[in-house]
Structure 1
Amino acid sequence: MSKFNKATLLIFGLLINMLSCKNVSHKRDSINKTLNSDIALEFITAFYSFNKNSLQSVLTDADDSRSDILYYQKWAECGNYKVVKQNDFIIKNDSLVLCPITVKDDLMGALEIDFNVTDTFHLTIINEKIKSIETSSNDPEIFYEAKDWIKQNKPELTENACEGTLTPCECVKATVKGFIEFRAINTVKF
């Protein structure tokens, strides 16, 4: 075999090797994204089932987030969150999945505004386990104004009800009541 043929064969072999490694890596990334999407869907399904045990089972490795997410689940249940739209999940990278969920709830109803909030769950998934969850929302400015109004004018409504981590139902119901009172004195159309 000539030097030219050996070199060509070597280059051809290296090229095939590089391409096959890339395909394996691409397949692994694709599988990881699919698994993470499935895990995210399992979380969202458990959260909006309003079944604490179901949610706890998907949060077994989310030590730092578990209590906040369980509290938020109960808050959402007692605030009558109804899923209006489950938006497409956003795969940010190999461990971060954003899950935007648009809901109708009693809080916006109390403010008498025609607005459905999109809550986004930021799931960190490592080795097929949810390790942490953060949340964000697109609550309108009036939501924050109403919360501030309660603190300044009716703190007794939420001080006891929203104290600690054991009272999410009482807290959301007190907040809704405060929002209704805020709305009654703020008759400007929002």
Structure 2
Amino acid sequence: MKGISILIVCILLLTSCKNVAPSSTPTKETLASEFIDAFYSFDKVRLASVLSEAKESQPSILYYQKWAKCGNYMVLNRQDFVVQNDSTLLCPVTVKDDLMAALAIDFNVTDTFRITVKKGNIRSVTTSSNDPDLYYTAKDWVKQNRNEIIEVPCEGIWEGGPTPCECIKAMIRGFGEFKKETNTEP
């Protein structure tokens, strides 16, 4: 009986101790860092988990993750977060990718993720980048001159379309053709 009493006391102490320290809400910076880690892990399940409270952002960000994976994005520099306001951080990440290589230019793109955090969860993520003018010129050229190679693979681009990998590979191919056809200098 004495052993059972001691066991009950121990169980009561253990269960009451777990409630002593309040649970801490992760900071915006911690959540943003988790997002960047998940994005560049190229693990769709992990990223979807981080975005579980950002349902509207999921289609475009999950698409972009696969696009980045198939475009061989390699992180060169994770810059410091920039606090935009009390709920939003800007997270610049500089990468080397196959798109710039196809254009034969020595330029590394910086993607900036705009992450909004409310009540301890990521609520939305958007992204922008500093692609050079030549990128947009090549993209337009591909649309006008080689649309047949991107039309199907790029269906639903940034809307959660079904083939982000095929899309970026088609764009890389188109960029290579643009470079040969126009013989552009950076």
Query: CA offsets per residue over residues 11-35 of structure 1, 9 Å max, x none?
Result: xxxxxxxxxxxxxxxxxxxx98x81
The DSSP-based 3-state class of the residue aligned with 2:123 is strand
What is the aligned length?
159
Higher normalized contact order (CA 8 Å, seq sep 6+, divided by chain length): 2
- Aligned residue type for 2:162: L
Tell me if 1:123 matches 2:115: yes
Question: Identity, % of aligned pairs?
Answer: 55
The DSSP-based 3-state class of the residue aligned with 1:135 is strand
Tell me if 1:188 matches 2:180: no
Q: Work out the CA distance in 2 between the residues paired with 1:159 and 1:41.
A: 35
Query: CA offsets per residue over residues 95-136 of structure 1, 9 Å max, x none?
Result: 000000000000000000000000000001001111111111
- 5 Å-filtered alignment, 1:96-107, equals 96-107=88-99
Tell me if 1:173 matches 2:169: yes
- 5 Å-filtered alignment, 1:55-134, equals 55-134=47-126
Query: CA offsets per residue over residues 46-67 of structure 1, 9 Å max, x none?
Result: 0000001110110001011011
The gaps in structure 2 that reach 5 residues or longer are 1-23
**1:150 alignment counterpart:** 142
Query: CA offsets per residue over residues 74-106 of structure 1, 9 Å max, x none?
Result: 000000000010011101111000000000000
- Moved runs in structure 1, 4+ residues, more than 3 A? none
Q: CA deviation at 1:188?
A: 3.1
More helix by share: 1
Task: Give the CA RMSD over aligned residues.
Answer: 1.3
- TM-score (ref. length: structure 2): 0.83
The gaps in structure 1 that reach 5 residues or longer are 1-30
Who wins on radius of gyration, i.e. which is larger? 1
- Aligned residue type for 2:57: S
